[in-house]
């Protein structure tokens, strides 16, 4: 997914790879917690500015109802998506509202 000469940053320590295993790509892993609160604040302010300028775009988000979690996990396991997969809970009934139930025997 990264072009020759590209850079891949791994935030966190999970799935740390050997940087030499990815040809023609610069790979670097880091733990944001090690940067300290002041530096983390600086980085976040810089990122907010880059998003505001349009220099960066957020990753796409695919939303699945939690009742379709099995299907969502199958989709994710194919590893053909880009971005984040989010499971949402169904809305709660409004106790002040009206619910109409039909059908049945």
52: nearest Cα among 60, 42, 44? 44
Q: What is the pLDDT of residue 100?
A: 81
Q: Max CA-CA distance within the chain? A: 66
Residues 75 and 71: their CA atoms lie apart, in Å, by 6
Q: What is the pLDDT of residue 41?
A: 94
CA angle in degrees (0–180, nearest 5) for 15-16-20: 130
Q: What is the pLDDT of residue 15?
A: 60
Residues 68 and 66: their CA atoms lie apart, in Å, by 5
pTM: 0.52
**Ranges of the chain whose pLDDT falls below 50:** none
Q: What is the pLDDT of residue 70?
A: 96
Q: What is the pLDDT of residue 1?
A: 59
Q: What is the pLDDT of residue 35?
A: 85
């Amino acid at each position: 997914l990264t072009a020759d000469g590209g850079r891949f940053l791994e935030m966190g320590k999970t799935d740390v790879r050997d940087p030499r295993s990815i040809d023609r790509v610069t790979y670097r892993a880091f733990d944001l917690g090690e940067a300290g609160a002041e530096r983390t604040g600086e980085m976040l302010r810089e990122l907010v500015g880059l998003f505001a300028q349009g220099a960066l775009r957020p990753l796409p988000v695919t939303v699945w109802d939690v009742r379709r979690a099995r299907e969502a996990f199958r989709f994710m396991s194919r590893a053909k998506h880009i971005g984040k997969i989010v499971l949402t809970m169904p809305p709660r009934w409004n106790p002040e509202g009206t619910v109409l139930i039909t059908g049945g025997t």
